[in-house]
């Protein structure tokens, strides 16, 4: 979808039963399709190819041989069985950039494992550092590893296209990304902490392992987030809270000391914050230049983004249907994102002549 937003002609090849996320409901979008499916399938064309039939397989092979980019996320070995693996495709299409997305890589041991976001959140350690310290391991509230892996795939594809364009031979290459490696790389500082100490990080709820104050704090009515990243900012926070002496308390003078005495600092701050509600403190602290904000619902967040002129939503109209979705987060000054096709019905673009366009891409 990210590639399609910026002009790629993306042909989504589906089996006769369709992408399984078409059935991931409720809720349903106004056009009756799964809202989940709709959230990641705008600007694509849907074509049904039954790999169990000679005609379906021939169509898929013809597309792969003419495409700039092929993306597949079958288990390792499946595409080879159909003659659609990288080596076979590039023999007929040397310039192809072929992106293979797996759950746990292509080694025999990794290939045996099913790649679902929830499993990877658990097995990568992400769930072990998410949630309350005295609660159970908790997944992130969205399929974050799936999303990050898709973004890594886009980055890999663009890097490979740039390399192809930079060399006279014009050869493509294989791009491999997997959910497990994506999740491990996304652990960033937490993985770094484990490597530095030899100890696995633990769950801290909304607290940060290396910064304080940097978490959720209770006020008189509802919690707010305060994120202070320097000693100078902490002093400004103490002034804004009306307790300037707190910045000189030997327990809190430096960030390492504040982290070491996080519990005492949180209690002291929440005693002050209890004197007024969230709206008061957000206004007061924001005026003082302190990073602060409420905990928005998703609908509140969309409204806030609209309020600060981020224009978060786009409405697409095509083939007599309309769809609203969150716009691409990328803005280019010259190459504008396009929003032309609503999420496709299953096989909506199947039929003669649908892949004649020389710009066609294959997903």
9 carries an active-site annotation: no
Closest CA to 277 of 252, 259, 294: 294
Q: Which residue has the tokens 């550092």?
A: 129
Homologous superfamily of 224-294 = formyl-coa transferase, domain 3 (3.30.1540.10)
Q: Which CATH architecture has domain 2-188+313-362?
A: 3-Layer(aba) Sandwich (3.40)
* pLDDT on residue 169: 81
Contact 178, 110 (CB under 8 A): yes
* pLDDT on residue 353: 55
Question: Could you give the CA distance from residue 61 to residue 51 in angstroms, rounded to a whole number?
Answer: 10
Question: Could you give the CA distance from residue 210 to residue 257 in angstroms, rounded to a whole number?
Answer: 10
Neighbours of 218 (CB within 10 A): 15
**Residue pLDDT, tens place only, 175-223:** 999 999 999 999 999 999 999 999 999 999 999 999 999 999 999 999 9
Question: Could you give the CA distance from residue 293 to residue 311 in angstroms, rounded to a whole number?
Answer: 20
Q: Give the mean pLDDT of 318-345.
A: 95
**Residue pLDDT, tens place only, 51-62:** 999 999 999 999
- Domain ranges within the chain, ordered by starting residue: 2-188+313-362, 224-294
**Residue pLDDT, tens place only, 85-97:** 999 999 999 999 9
Question: Could you give the CA distance from residue 64 to residue 18 in angstroms, rounded to a whole number?
Answer: 19
* pLDDT of 360 strictly over 80: no
Q: Which of 9, 19, 146, 178 is catalytic?
A: 146
Residue 355 pLDDT class (50, 70, 90 cuts): low
* pLDDT on residue 362: 44
**Residue pLDDT, tens place only, 128-180:** 999 999 999 999 999 999 999 999 999 999 999 999 999 878 899 999 999 99
Q: What percent of the chain has pLDDT over 90?
A: 92
Residue 359 pLDDT class (50, 70, 90 cuts): very low
The torsion of the CA quartet 52, 22, 182, 191, rounded to 10 degrees, works out to: -140
* pLDDT of 338 strictly over 50: yes
What lies within 8 Å, CB to CB, of 254 at 6+ separation is 231
**Residue pLDDT, tens place only, 28-81:** 998 889 999 999 999 999 999 999 999 999 999 999 999 999 999 999 999 999
Q: Give the mean pLDDT of 97-117.
A: 94
Average pLDDT over the chain reads 94
């Amino acid at each position: 979808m990210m590639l399609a937003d910026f002009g790629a002609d993306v042909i989504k090849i589906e089996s006769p039963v369709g992408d399984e996320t078409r059935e991931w409901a409720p809720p349903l979008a106004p056009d009756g399709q799964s809202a989940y499916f709709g959230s990641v399938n705008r600007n694509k064309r849907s074509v049904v190819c039954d790999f169990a039939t000679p005609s379906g397989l021939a169509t898929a092979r013809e597309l792969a041989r003419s495409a700039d980019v092929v993306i597949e996320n079958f288990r390792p070995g499946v595409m080879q069985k159909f003659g659609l693996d990288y080596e076979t495709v590039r023999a007929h299409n040397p310039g192809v950039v072929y992106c293979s997305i797996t759950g746990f890589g292509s080694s025999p041991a990794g290939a045996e494992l099913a790649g679902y976001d929830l499993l990877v959140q658990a097995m990568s350690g992400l769930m072990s550092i998410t949630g309350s310290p005295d609660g159970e391991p908790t997944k992130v509230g969205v399929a974050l590893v799936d999303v990050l892996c898709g973004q890594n795939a886009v980055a890999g594809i663009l890097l490979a296209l740039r390399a192809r364009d930079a060399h006279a031979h014009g050869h493509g290459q294989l791009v491999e990304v997997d959910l497990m490696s994506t999740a491990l790389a996304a652990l960033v500082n937490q993985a770094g902490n484990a490597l530095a100490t030899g100890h696995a990080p633990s769950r801290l709820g909304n607290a940060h392992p290396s910064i304080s104050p940097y978490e959720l704090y209770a006020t008189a009515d509802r919690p707010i987030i305060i994120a202070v990243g320097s000693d100078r900012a902490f002093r400004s926070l103490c002034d804004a809270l009306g307790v300037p002496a707190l910045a000189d308390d030997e327990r809190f003078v430096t960030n390492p000391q504040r982290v070491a005495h996080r519990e005492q600092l949180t209690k002291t701050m929440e005693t002050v914050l209890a004197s007024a509600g969230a709206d008061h403190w957000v206004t007061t602290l924001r005026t003082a230049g302190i990073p602060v904000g409420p905990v928005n619902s998703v609908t509140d967040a969309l409204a806030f983004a609209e309020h600060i002129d981020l224009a978060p939503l786009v409405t697409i109209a095509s083939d007599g249907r309309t769809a609203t979705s969150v716009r691409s987060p990328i803005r280019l000054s010259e190459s504008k994102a396009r929003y032309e096709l609503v999420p496709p019905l299953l096989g909506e673009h199947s039929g003669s002549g649908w892949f004649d366009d020389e710009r066609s891409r294959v997903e």
